[in-house]
Amino acid sequence: MDLAYRAELPREEFAARRQQVLAQMQPNSALLLFSEIEKRRNHDCHFSFRQDSYFWYLTGFNEPDAALLLVKTEQTEKAIVFLRPRDPLLETWNGRRLGVERAPQALEVNEAYSIDDFALHFPKMTQNLTALYHVPEYHLWGDKLIADSGVNFSQVLDWRPILSEMRLIKSPNEIRLMQQAGQITALAHIKAMQETRANRFEYEIEGDILHEFNRHGARFAAYNSIIAGGDNACILHYTENDQPLKDGELVLIDAGCEFAMYAGDITRTFPVNGKFSQAQREIYELVLKAQKRAIELLVPGNSIKQANDEVIRIKVQGLVDLGILQGDVEALIEQKAYRQFYMHGLGHWLGLDVHDVGEYGEERSRTLEVGMVITVEPGLYISQEANVPEQYRGIGVRIEDNLLMTEYGNKILTAAVPKEIEEIENLMGKK
């Protein structure tokens, strides 16, 4: 497989972000960010390391045990990195390190020091500064370093409002990476449809998806994949993935790759045997109708709340038509009777994290802007125990795509994977 399209953000973008942060900091202050640390899986084995998204956003540096210090005074503005020193013996066992000497040029920062000397340098660098942007208890190992340094500030400020708002609007370079994440994720969902059949285990389909991520240059999933056959689809965050898929049931797959640190996030629901039953078709078409209407509404100038209100109305009317809910549509909406079947929101921000950062406003009423990326994922979940007509019990359906807000409306980054019933059945019929 030709991976020539693999991309990284240019170093200049990280430097520009740091300058943007410095411009928003108050005079005579410092901002301190800590990296993620390695986490033990068992005994002397660790989970695969994944950098803290905020730290990555300002550094592009993918090693543990590091810190970024931004200093702003009337005389100067500096970016300083603390990181692990070179150690030939440990690097032979555990992998290469950038090291102090190479860090300033490689990361385009002013200075670099060993993280082991943090307590020595931090007091000098922050002497006479009045404010520190820091989030206590976000990284406990970093809190200990600050405490051991003996430095106190008259004012401690939260850096998250600054960085979260910056992360919410994607740059052209970020958008290119997210388009690739969406495309790879779409290819994996297509593969899942092609490989699904009765009596395969949910984890076998998960393996097919992860293989497709890998062979297109995305080594990791952005989150734990959900492969939910039958009634398992009514568990929103089902991740056991250990049951056999049964003929005549649906399977709900919520999976996304992580490409160059950015997440894709797609959900598709389809029949294990490749053909929707009448009851499955009715629920699926209702969710699809709601999603299509939401996509029409999710454009700059509108809000997630506006779209979700319309989605709720469509679903309640449809559930009444099917005899799953009884009563007046307006009264049922007012009573939130739909919550037993649709208990989550319509969508969320997407970026470095699958549930990305940024304020939503009350009831997700924030106005959408160009450069935001969101998911749109209406669903209906009718458990086996629900007091509804028998043919609908055990059916869970969710359909999810990723939308980029543009000056022309929205762009669906995940359109490559089918969601029309006829398209799904045709694809699965070619297995």
Residue 289 CA to residue 318 CA, distance in Å, equals 10
Which of the following is catalytic: 139, 216, 364, 398?
Answer: 398
Residue 29, C-beta contacts closer than 8 angstroms, at least 6 positions apart: 72, 129, 130, 131, 132, 133, 157
Residue 95 CA to residue 42 CA, distance in Å, equals 20
Other Cβ atoms less than 10 A from the Cβ of 391: the count is 14
Residue 230 CA to residue 129 CA, distance in Å, equals 59
Active site residue 355: yes
Which of the following is catalytic: 54, 238, 262, 381?
Answer: 381
Which of the following is catalytic: 249, 254, 258, 353?
Answer: 254
Helix (H) or strand (E) holding 221: strand 220-221
Which of the following is catalytic: 38, 355, 359, 423?
Answer: 355
Which of the following is catalytic: 265, 353, 356, 401?
Answer: 265
Contact 222, 182 (CB under 8 A): no
Active site residue 265: yes
Active site residue 46: no
Active site residue 139: no
Ramachandran angles phi, psi of 426, nearest 5°: -65, -45
Q: Which of 235, 224, 53 is nearest to 138 (CA)?
A: 53
Active site residue 242: no
Which of the following is catalytic: 6, 46, 102, 237?
Answer: 237
Active site residue 398: yes
Alpha helices in 359-419 (DSSP H): none
Tokens matching residue 415: 């359109």
Using CA atoms, how far residue 28 sits from 25, 56, 130, in Å, is 9, 25, 6
Using CA atoms, how far residue 345 sits from 163, 231, 374, in Å, is 24, 21, 12
Active site residue 344: yes
Which of the following is catalytic: 121, 293, 313, 344?
Answer: 344
Residue 273 CA to residue 24 CA, distance in Å, equals 56
Which of the following is catalytic: 139, 268, 348, 364?
Answer: 348
Active site residue 425: no
Using CA atoms, how far residue 193 sits from 149, 196, 245, 424, in Å, is 56, 5, 13, 8
Tokens matching residue 213: 């991520």
Q: Which of 285, 270, 288, 287 is nearest to 192 (CA)?
A: 270
Active site residue 211: no
Residue 95, C-beta contacts closer than 8 angstroms, at least 6 positions apart: none
Which of the following is catalytic: 2, 44, 334, 390?
Answer: 44
Catalytic residue numbers, as ranges: 44, 237, 254, 265, 344, 348, 355, 377, 381, 398, 400
